[in-house]
Structure 1
Amino acid sequence: MHLKTLEKELLSRSLPERIQFIASYFAGERLVFSTSFGQEDQAITQAIASTKSAIDIFTLDTGRQFQESYELMDLTIKKYGISLQTFFPNTSAVETLVSEKGFNSFYTSVENRKECCFVRKMEPLNRALQGAKVWITGLRAEQSDNRADMPIIEWDENRQLWKINPLIDWSFSQLENYLQEHKIPQNPLHKKGFISIGCAPCTRAISEGEHPRAGRWWWENSQKECGLHA
């Protein structure tokens, strides 16, 4: 199927239908979904579970998560009866980073912060994606300028896989409605102003009117990305 036709097929469907279509179209290949248990990821997890789609679900545990995030992980696994693989950073790499630069080097420069993100996120992600033909994410165009022009499906030349963003065209109100309609569990930090939740020392609550990702790496004037979706 031509890429543009594939895009139209996906965009014309509901979220569960999109997930079913992806699983059917790429049947026989290894499909993976990366979740950080944010609102978008929770919606996709529910869609995968409800359609019983053959998609492997994984998460990255940086070692610096909020306790609320861990509690939501356990609740989600139990509620939907899903199998979840957790990828951790390489122990020696973390030990070297902390030994050479301390526990909070990410506050000192963008370069140091990206180094920490690489050790704790990028390297584990690369391992998690090995052997996958399709990588499903919870990205939405509204989330940041960097994501505004991302398509619903694209070929990732570096990783040699298809990257599919089934919520890329959704508004936040659409997402909220879906979460409420299906009674999907959410991180209680969302109600305290934490819209985009990452590592605990790198995330703060946002004020009314602030950009949704203003609370990520709040001390920086950067693109607010860790490199996973550059």
Structure 2
Amino acid sequence: MRENITEWNKQLHGKSAQEVLDFFIKEFKGEIALASSLGAEDQVLTEMILDIDKETKIFTLDTGRLFPETYDLIHRTNNKYGIKMSVYFPEAAKVEKMVNNEGINLFFESVEKRKRCCNIRKIQPLKRAFKGLSVWICGLRKEQSVTRTDMQVVEWDEGNQMIKVNPLIEWSEKEVWDYIKLKGIPYNTLHDKNYPSIGCQPCTRAIMDGEDVRAGRWYWESPDTKECGLHKK
């Protein structure tokens, strides 16, 4: 599959997000899923995917530190589309050991500790969610971060040995919100309170006017470290 990445990017150049999704959902039926962060982009993708194929797997990760508004969004999304989004949790024993050894909010102490928390709460559950899959769909956009400007529509995820598809990679934030309004897509109400990017509650803050859309994520760190490890090439 890896050898097809270049050809797929050529073939899908200029295609709409729906066309990209349609191609991969049909090509990899039963082996493809949306890994949803429940952000605005992933809610757009949820709408598009379910319009193409209601049976395509959609899952999210519950780290145990999410906002109440995020849990409410899972409920509202399931109700609107008549689905049961799969939810994956971290292993309780590993979280318990980490917290007892390093503290409940260890992530503020160093990038290394923050990434260790992300690894236990997000990366390891993600790997369980990926079992049996060949392709994962992501809501990444180039505009979101300096760490994402070189990403393409189709990539090879070396760490997970699978294809990663980014149908919205060229979309602007305005395009995302215009589509949400057009389709009446449920979204996290924190977006209305200056939270453009929402993760775990202690690691996310509202942004101020003029700040980058990812400024509120791991806000005590420098921009070039602001990834949790989910999107390594």
**Interval of TM-score (by shorter of Structure 1 and Structure 2):** over 0.9
CA distance in 1, matches of 2:20, 2:55: 13
Deviation, structure 1 residue 91: 0.7
Q: Please list the CA deviations of residues 14-49 of structure 1 after superposition, one character each: whole Å capped at 9, or x if unmatched.
A: 32232211111224x510110011000000000011
CA distance in 1, matches of 2:198, 2:12: 27
Tell me the C-alpha RMSD between the 2 structures.
Answer: 1.6
Q: How does 1:23-172 map to 2 (within 5 A)?
A: 23-27=25-29, 29-52=30-53, 54-172=55-173
Q: Which runs of 4 or more aligned residues in structure 1 lie more than 4 Å from their structure 2 counterparts after TM superposition?
A: none
Deviation, structure 1 residue 80: 0.9
Shift in alpha-carbon separation, 1:166–1:53, aligned structure 2, 3 A: farther
CA contact (8 A) 1:42 1:185 kept: yes
SS at match of 1:177: helix
CA distance in 1, matches of 2:4, 2:124: 32
CA contact (8 A) 1:23 1:53 kept: no
Deviation, structure 1 residue 54: 4.2
Aligned to 1:16: 18
SS at match of 1:147: coil
Q: Please list the CA deviations of residues 125-170 of structure 1 after superposition, one character each: whole Å capped at 9, or x if unmatched.
A: 1111122100111101111111111010012233221111111111
CA contact (8 A) 1:23 1:54 kept: no
SS at match of 2:12: helix
For structure 1, the residue ranges without an aligned partner over 5 or more in a row are: none
CA distance in 2, matches of 1:158, 1:123: 12
Deviation, structure 1 residue 57: 0.8
Normalization by structure 1: what TM-score? Answer: 0.94
CA distance in 2, matches of 1:82, 1:48: 12
Aligned to 1:184: 185
CA distance in 2, matches of 1:198, 1:107: 15
For structure 2, the residue ranges without an aligned partner over 5 or more in a row are: none
How many residue pairs match? The answer is 229
Shift in alpha-carbon separation, 1:193–1:89, aligned structure 2, 3 A: same
Deviation, structure 1 residue 174: 1.2
CA contact (8 A) 1:202 1:216 kept: yes
Aligned to 1:215: 216
Deviation, structure 1 residue 201: 0.5
- Sequence identity (%): 47
Aligned to 1:225: 227
